[in-house]
Every structure is written in C-alpha cells, then in structure tokens.
Amino acid sequence: MSYRPERVAHELKVEIGDIIARRLHDPRVGFATITDARVSPDLRHARIYVSVFGTPQQQQETIAALNHAAGFIRRALGSRLRLRRSPELTFTFDQSVEYGDRMARLIEEVNKESSELNS
C-alpha cells in the first residue's frame, strides 16, 4: 500500500491554496479555501475541494473560475512540485463547512429549547 497519493494530495492542497491567494488575479474568485485534495493512485487526476464564502451564485462563479484557471494552476504546480507529470485538476464545491455550520446551529437550537423546558 502506497502513501504517495496522500502525500501528493497534501502538497497540492498547500500549493494550490498559495497559488490562488498570491498568483491568481481573477475577480470571479471570491474568498476560497482549499479544504481537501484527493489524488488518483496513478497521480494523473486530482479533485480539489473548495469552500467558498458568499452567496450560492458567488460560489458557482468561483468554482467555474477555478476550473477555467486549472491549466494556469497546473503549470504553476509543475514548477513548484517535483513530479514527472502534474495532475489534471478538477475543482469541486465542498459543502462540509456549510453542513457543519448547519448542524452546530441545530444543536444550539435543541440545547436552547431543552434549557427552556428545564427552567
């Protein structure tokens, strides 16, 4: 069992976050955070999960802009990472942050109702 895809995924997550923050000057890219990266066992494909702060329309625009800039980001990765071939990138919206926030609000609401009943 090889851990190389996991190590490459971690490096991709760090480097892509830096590239988006410092080198990508697309106004459609809002406040985006790379939350996860998954790399295929042959290291040819990578799915990058992105959390975007903003309205659903801004989130869609950001993901579209990142997928449009995938070639630029891939070339920038080629000069930063020591890989024979840079993986093909696909950006996907990560809903886990919103899901976690929603769960926290629901738990808070249940606790509030429970304390009101006990009072």
For the segment 43-66, what is each residue's pLDDT rounded down to a tens digit?
A: 999 999 999 988 889 999 999 999
Res 1 pLDDT > 60: no
Res 94 pLDDT > 80: yes
Helix axes 70-80, 4-22, angle to 10 degrees: 110
Average pLDDT over residues 96-108: 84
Q: From the CB of residue 53, how many other CB atoms can be counted at a distance below 10 Å?
A: 12
